[in-house]
């Protein structure tokens, strides 16, 4: 049984999920705006399901001073995550409102 659990762990994907316009609606520029941002509940629900079998990294381009409010917002809105970054990170899948699929680009 232990070997199966180890194999399952290695099959997890790293999924990078953007904040503004993806997990939360709109763009936030101040701590107050961050804490008042409306959650995108449908996206949060799906991300929370992905959390069970994958490695979720939340990322944002928000400035450093907005990170404490952002993490508090995530806690208040029950967003599950394994890691956090305010820089674009390497991942196998990106969930981002600004993303462009290469097939659509061509």
Coil vs helix vs strand at 83: strand
CB of 47 closer than 8 Å to CB of 23? yes
Res 83: pLDDT: 95
> CA–CA distance from 70 to each of 6, 8, 10, 11 (Å)?
33, 31, 29, 29
Res 4: pLDDT: 55
pLDDT 10s digit of each residue in the chain, 106 long? 556 565 555 678 999 999 999 999 989 999 999 999 999 999 999 999 999 999 999 999 899 999 999 999 999 999 999 999 988 788 988 889 888 777 877 7
Gap between the Cα atoms of 22 and 40, Å rounded: 7
Counting Cα atoms < 13 Å in the Cβ hemisphere of 82 gives 15
Res 98: pLDDT: 84
Res 73: pLDDT: 98
Res 5: pLDDT: 60
Which of 60, 62, 63, 51 lies closest to 23 in space, CA to CA? Answer: 60
Res 14: pLDDT: 94
């Amino acid at each position: 049984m232990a070997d199966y659990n180890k194999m399952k762990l290695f099959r997890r994907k790293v999924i990078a999920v953007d904040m503004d316009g993806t997990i939360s609606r709109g763009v936030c520029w101040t701590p107050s705006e961050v804490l008042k941002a409306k959650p995108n509940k449908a996206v949060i629900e799906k991300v929370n399901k992905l959390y069970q079998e994958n490695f979720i990294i939340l990322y944002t381009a928000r400035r450093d001073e907005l990170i404490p409010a952002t993490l508090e917002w995530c806690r208040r809105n029950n967003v599950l995550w394994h890691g956090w970054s305010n820089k674009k990170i390497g991942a196998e899948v990106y969930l981002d409102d600004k993303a462009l699929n290469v097939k659509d680009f061509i």
